[in-house]
Chains A and B, each alone.
Chain A
Amino acid sequence: ETVLTQSPATLSLSPGERAALSCRVSDNVRSYLAWYQQKPGQAPRLLIYDASNRATGIPARFSGSGSGTDFTLTISSLEPEDFAVYYCQQRRNWPLTFGGGTKVEIK
């Protein structure tokens, strides 16, 4: 199966800072990668699909980039509500697979 490795596991930042989250994929998935945000006690929320397209209602401070095996989710300036866990997911190959997650915590 296609393995997604997210780094770092935890990112400690202050509000207003820029966050860059990495997702490395074991196979070439072209641009078929999404990012989700999950807050404690809540269901995940789709942020980015097909590597760089923002989902409906997602603020412009969230952006995605990359293709092939290396992808990045960037949050340009962290808002208090952005502290959460972020997951990547590929749809290029079955089974669908998620990364292990990156927790963005308040420094």
Chain B
Amino acid sequence: EVQLLESGGALVQRGGSLKLACAASGFSFINYAMGWVRQAPGKGLEWVSAISASYHVTYYADSVKGRFTISRDDSKDMLYMQMNSLGVEDTARYYCAKVRATSEWYFDYWGQGTLVTVSS
């Protein structure tokens, strides 16, 4: 059974930093691209970042480019998101999600999310 468990969400002040983690199990993590999707309270889904398998190519939404860094540790089946220069607009639940197949950038499994709250 595929499981994704996020951690690291917290209340942080504007301008602060946070590192999210996602522990994956139940599938061959090294073979799949992964991503982060966020959802502000009461709002829709917003794709944040993704990272490929193999060469670890990274992709970012314009809203986080230069501030967030996605990474993965295939030896530990872990996905990470380093978040710097946080603003109130980054307040959201952050979901870790598995990409369905190579170059098919859809998300077929999701964690339950971790809540990031940025205070002003």
Q: Which A residues lie at the B interface, using CB under 8 A?
A: 1, 34, 36, 38, 42-46, 49-50, 55-56, 87, 89, 91, 94-101
Q: Which B residues lie at the A interface, using CB under 8 A?
A: 35, 37, 44-47, 50, 59-62, 95, 100, 104-108, 110-113
Counted as pairs of residues, one from A and one from B, with CB atoms less than 8 Å apart, the total is 59
Chain A minimum-CB-distance residue to B101: A49
**Residues of A close to B105: CB separation below 8 A:** 91, 96
Known: A1-B62, A43-B95, A43-B111. A87 touches B106 (CB 8 A): no
Give Cα A91–Cα B50 distance, bound, in whole angstroms.
12
Known: A43-B111, A55-B108, A96-B105. A49 touches B100 (CB 8 A): yes
Chain A minimum-CB-distance residue to B110: A43
**Residues of B close to A34: CB separation below 8 A:** 106
Give Cα A58–Cα B35 distance, bound, in whole angstroms.
22
Say whether B106 contacts A89, CB under 8 Å: yes
Q: Provide the main secondary structure of the chain B interface.
A: strand
Say whether B104 contacts A91, CB under 8 Å: yes
What 17 additional pairs, Cβ within 8 angstroms, besides A95-B62, A98-B47? A38-B45, A44-B107, A44-B110, A46-B108, A49-B104, A49-B106, A55-B108, A89-B47, A89-B107, A91-B104, A91-B105, A95-B60, A96-B35, A96-B105, A98-B37, A98-B44, A101-B45
Give Cα A87–Cα B110 distance, bound, in whole angstroms.
15
Known: A49-B106, A94-B59. A100 touches B113 (CB 8 A): no
B28 vs chain A, min Cβ distance (A):
16
Say whether B95 contacts A46, CB under 8 Å: no
B106 vs chain A, min Cβ distance (A):
4
Chain A minimum-CB-distance residue to B63: A95
Give Cα A99–Cα B7 distance, bound, in whole angstroms.
27
Contact of A43 among B100, B106, B113 (CB under 8 A): B113
Say whether A96 contacts B50, CB under 8 Å: yes
Give Cα A89–Cα B47 distance, bound, in whole angstroms.
9
Known: A49-B104, A89-B106. A95 touches B45 (CB 8 A): no
